[in-house]
Amino acid sequence: MTTTVSWPYAHILSARERLYDHLVRRVEADGAIRDRCASRILESALLLSLLRKERAGPDTQEALTGFLGRARPAGFLDAAAAAAVTGRPVASAEVRAHLDGFRHFTGARKQLLLETLLAVLGALPFDGRTDPGRVPDEEQAVWTDVTLRAVRILHAAHRDEESPGLDTDRVRMAASLSSFDAGKVWQGNALAHLIALHALHTYQPGGALLRDGLCVLIRVQNADRGIPFIAGQEVFVTALAGTVLAGAGDRRDVVPRMAAYVADRQLADGGWGYDETTTQSDVDDTSRCARLLRLAGPNTYEHRLGRADNYLRRMADAAGGWPTYVRGHAPEPDMTAGAVIALAPDWRRHSGILDQAVDFLLDVQGGDGTWQRSWTLSESSVIVYVVEALGRTTAHVSPTARTRIAAATAKAVRRLEQTQNPDGGWGQRNGDTSDALSTAQAVPVIVRHGTATTAGRALAHLLDQQEPEGGFTAPPDQVGPRPLPFDFPVLTGVHALAALNTAVEAHPANGRPQSAAV
């Protein structure tokens, strides 16, 4: 349905212009937006622990201790990590119970990782329950592979035994670290680099590879003296921001520069990774980057778009859907939605896999109207992505599928209407305090498909959150490794601009009552 809107058009336009200018000021000369990942307790605690083991960096140790004393834990695991490394009591039984309650399709691997990290920090004992052998050895993302090798090395060191594959794990982990660009955080992933260095310490303490890694990680310390999860996310952020700046009209003509920057970061396999240094491609970044290039110049970037399409086709699951990193891994709704949006403009060529993807998205919707939250915390973040993807397919699918899409969309809208807070906004989950990011991600669905009253209240709340310089602030929504949140603050403004773009497009004063998704 198309919403008959009543919110003040001039106010929305003004807010959008201020936000557009705010984001454009972040675009650097080469077209990239380079935001800083906020510091996290886990990485800061791991670096402090490693520096102590190596008897290195006393000034950095002092700075990290100060950060950990000031930092507010984002959850139970943060609190346990900070307490353990600063010498405060840790309730190990409560930590274990919390980990035992973790439910995710990557659950066994993620539990093993988190249990091992907390054991390294002293929050849990190394014991038989934390068994690396319970995780199958299969193809993984590069950082997952190195992390699992590091975990096996750490457990073998604790048991003081030479397990059958230990030498192989040591050689391959060290070779992977050594092959990466000197002076860079390995794959841009500070957490994976830290885990590997802790493992390296067990058999090469004081070695050159370990010393060099410590120097690199110290250099990415933030102003608050904490350590981020990843060193950057400039490819992902630039692609996403370029898309919404294009949707806002791009009166400063920055999008061509942003698209050129993104195009130059395409990897050999046709995909993209999240930052300038990683060699690991993924479906999410590839979908976002391809979307920007198609908006900015489908003819200019025809060859790169063809390679991206081929990458996405290769990654598609035989039964429908897309995973994040490795074909054959479980498909995920948000990855699938992104791939559908990227491939839908060439429906004829991709109709077979897209029809399967639509069925997958419809089949995995929950009874409450939501989809699985994978790389995000907010329900609305996946809802908006999937609803947009389904909306782009309705002109091509069968009448039966169109009926199912309409029902799925209505169910998602009902969920958002039922979970809207009295102040007009949304929190990450039902009952959570409203925040600008969760609200911004709900707005496009409500504006396009909800009631005018719900949309008006949502926009009023969002506009009230805009800061004097034009930006927005919210708690982090991204997670990595799942379920740990990490924060690139600029993304709140990016999603808010997407919401305001939709509001402008849908407003009768714009002369286009039927909104066109960007």
| Of 355, 331, 328, 360, residue with least CA distance to 344 | 355
Provide, for the chain, the percentages of residues in helix, strand and coil under a 3-state DSSP scheme, each rounded to the nearest 5: 60, 5, 40
In the chain, DSSP finds a helix count (H) and a strand count (E) of 21, 4
Tokens standing for residue 450: 């909800």
Rounded (10°) CA dihedral 246, 247, 249, 254: -20
Contact 382, 333 (CB under 8 A): yes
Tokens standing for residue 465: 């959150």
Tokens standing for residue 330: 């479980």
Indicate the DSSP class of residue 518.
Answer: -
DSSP helix/strand/coil, 217: helix
Q: End-to-end distance of the chain based on CA atoms, in angstroms?
A: 18
| Of 99, 70, 95, residue with least CA distance to 81 | 95
Integer Cα distance of 319 and 432 in angstroms? 36
Integer Cα distance of 191 and 234 in angstroms? 18
Q: Is 284 a catalytic residue?
A: yes
Strand partners, 272: 282
Count Cα atoms within 13 angstroms, Cβ side, for 323: 17
Burial class (CB in 10 A: 0-12, 13-18, 19+), 205: exposed
Rounded (10°) CA dihedral 56, 60, 65, 67: -150
Radius of gyration from C-alpha coordinates of the chain = 23
| Of 294, 383, 377, 399, residue with least CA distance to 341 | 294
- Residue of 250, 284, 317, 487 marked catalytic: 284
| Cβ-based neighbours of 164, under 8 Å, separated by 6 or more | none
Annotated catalytic residues are 284
